Amino acid sequence: MKTEVLRKEEVGRAAAVIKNGGLVAMPTETVYGLAADALNGQAVARIFQAKGRPMDNPLIVHIAELSQIEALVRAFPPKARLLAERFWPGPLTMILPKSDNIPDEVSAGLDTVAIRCPADATARELIRLSAPLAAPSANLSGSPSPTTVQHVIQDMDGRIDAIIDGGDCCVGVESTVITLAADPPRLLRPGGITLEQLREAIGEVILDEAVLHPLKNGQQAASPGMKYKHYAPKANVILLEGSEKAFRDFVNAHDDGQTAVLCYEEDIPYLTVPYLVLGKAEDYAEQANHLFAVLRQADEKGYQTVYTHCPRTEGVGLAVYNRMIRAAGFEVMKLV
């Protein structure tokens, strides 16, 4: 299949592809999404083929206006309304009881559906011109999510109908996922909207165990996506916990020609080992924004081992930690 790369101005053409049951990769403020008409089960099934995604991992439905939610959910509790008013459009996905209009391909047989209203103007225009869009991240299953159009082309060229070039994504990690199908609500995946912001808006929010820890044998994932080894580069990623000095000494001592470091700007003058920069030490938003791109770069350069700082789990740091700990297969090394 020939994959067309479209300019933002050609969004009308992309909408025609969607209405025909085709697949379009679209920019969003978090990461690029691979979109199909959410109400067309056959079109949605093609997303799973193109990504190589397990069919039991449900998709997020993207809407352009709050009014579109009525046809998609059975209930819209007051806390969900509060969150929508506060954080939509933006990087927040809410899980709610699904209506009968949602095809099984979208919800993977669950009784709930994930809904998000993205902030990106092109994504919203595409939705307005076509339909609510089911869209996972536009990467091959298991690869880091795409934050540039080049990443999407790398993974999806020849597998989908079209890609809209919307430039680089500004958040850089996938949306925050919260379920309101349970009370108290539960955070399933941290992202650009922080746990602190959610608690401030609606009070108690439980942090699901799978955000920070591997699932125990036989334990059910509240969010099916959590059970897969996600965000996995080819290199062996290891998180290092310890002081800045211990970090720099350790990585400099492990320069074997096949090893690189994901570092903070402040580390640069002290490093003798190859490095890729995540951002400033205290700026988790900047680190989130660069994370997937530097993981892809590490693979392109063929590094076997990648060491990185273990982030603090506060604010957007929780989202950075959650992605890194999965990229590392939960391997953290304590430095003394």
Q: Is residue 50 part of the contact set for ligand TXA (CB under 6 A)?
A: no
- Residues 117-136 contacting ligand TXA, CB under 6 A: 118, 135-136
Nearer to ligand TXA, 28 or 308 (CB): 28
Residue 223 binds to ligand TXA (criterion: CB under 6 A): yes
Which does residue 224 bind out of ligand TXA, Mg ion, none, counting CB within 5 to 8 angstroms by kind? Answer: ligand TXA
CA angle 192, 251, 327 (to 5 degrees): 35
Angle at which helix 317-327 crosses helix 284-300, to 10 degrees, equals 20
The entry of Mg ion, ligand TXA, none that residue 28 binds, CB within 5 to 8 Å by partner kind? ligand TXA
CB nearer to Mg ion: pick between 263 and 325:
325
Pairing of strands 92-97, 112-116: antiparallel
Give φ, ψ of 33 to 5 degrees: -115, 155
Number of residues that bind ligand TXA (CB under 6 A): 29
Q: Which of 140, 174, 161 is nearest to 35 (CA)?
A: 161
Q: What is the smallest separation between the CB atom of 155 and ligand TXA, expressed in angstroms?
A: 13
Q: How far is the CB of 329 from ligand TXA (least distance, A)?
A: 17
Contact 198, 178 (CB under 8 A): yes
Q: How far apart are CA 170 and CA 166, in angstroms?
A: 11
Q: Which stretch binds ligand TXA (CB under 6 A): 79-87, 113-121, 269-277, 295-303?
A: 113-121
Whether the CB-CB separation of 169 and 147 falls below 8 Å is answered with yes
Instruction: Report which of 116, 120, 104 is spatially closest to residue 44, judged by C-alpha positions.
Output: 104
| Measured torsion, CA atoms of residues 128, 161, 227, 211, in degrees rounded to the nearest 10 | -40
- Burial status of residue 179 (CB atoms within 10 A of its CB: 0-12, 13-18, 19 or more): buried
Is 31 one of the binding residues for ligand TXA (CB under 6 A)? yes
174 binds ligand TXA (CB under 6 A): yes
Helix ranges (H only) for 61-129 are 78-87, 104-107, 121-129
Binding part of the chain for Mg ion, among 14-22, 130-138, 152-160, 278-286 by CB under 5 A, reads 130-138
CB of 53 to Mg ion, least distance (A): 8
The string of DSSP codes covering 19-79 is HTT--EEE--SSS-EEEEETT-HHHHHHHHHHHT--TTS--EEE-SSGGGGGGTBS---HH
The one among 11, 18, 27, 33 contacting ligand TXA by CB under 6 A: 33
Out of 23, 24, 43, 60, which residue is the one contacting ligand TXA (CB under 6 A)?
60
Task: Give which of 23, 24, 3 is closest to 122, Cα–Cα.
Answer: 24
User: Under the criterion CB under 6 A, does residue 148 sit at the interface with ligand TXA?
Assistant: no
CA 92 to chain centre: 11
Which range, of 114-122, 148-156, 235-243, 309-317, touches ligand TXA by CB under 6 A?
A: 114-122
24, 177, 285, 316: which one binds ligand TXA (CB under 6 A): 177
Residue 310 Cβ, how far from ligand TXA at the closest point, in Å? Answer: 23
CB 5 within 8 A of CB 160: no
Q: Which is nearer to ligand TXA, 175 or 194 (CB)?
A: 175
Q: Which of 57, 107, 122, 137 binds Mg ion (CB under 5 A)?
A: 137
Does 59 bind ligand TXA (CB under 6 A)? Our answer is yes
Q: Which residues bind ligand TXA (CB under 6 A)?
A: 28, 30-31, 33, 57-60, 91, 93, 95, 107, 110, 112-114, 116, 118, 135-137, 174-175, 177, 188-189, 223-225
Q: Which residues bind Mg ion (CB under 5 A)?
A: 137
